[in-house]
Structure 1
């Protein structure tokens, strides 16, 4: 028969073997996880190069388009300034003579109005002296 010490040693050996078995299973799973992680990182490294090339191409294309947009904006600004100067020139060319014509026509109307008024007064005076 087994003594108490032998039973305790047997239980400790069984517990120790179960613990070692669990640790071995956990270690195997950890090794698989590390291998999969290594594969993913390797694939990511392989895909990063072409991705960075695509990003670089996209940035270059965007810079070219921004340069073209800047040129278009500068041309639009120049055209706007040209239209503004043409408008100012047209205004000065057209409004100057129009103001003069308006002032002249006002003066002519005033003079003609005064002549009519004088003619009416003279005709009334003549009629008044005849009567």
Structure 2
């Protein structure tokens, strides 16, 4: 599970695997498959990063729409908008998650609302995540 310090977890609306499926912050529910992710090291065009792959279906990952800042589920095309990097936080074992195409942080905008990237704010519990 990808859970933030606000105790919400990244999930996929209706558990769908369609390209562009909305990712949101849900109440953490361990038996919900849409809230389970695998973290995979990857590289593309000489850049290294992490991919967050959904356990709903092999090959579907967190994908940043660079024009809107929204994060959705997309079948992996191995682009840098699907690759992420971590920055340490002051909370042990938790991280700020950044996309390779943006300096902003993965952000939970509230229960049931879309995940986005937004400017990082030190100590913001909606931007500090525990990895699966």
Is TM more than 0.5 here?
Answer: no
Q: TM-score, normalised by structure 1?
A: 0.11
Higher relative contact order (CA 8 A, sep 6+): 2
Q: TM-score, normalised by structure 2?
A: 0.11
Structure with the larger helix share: 1
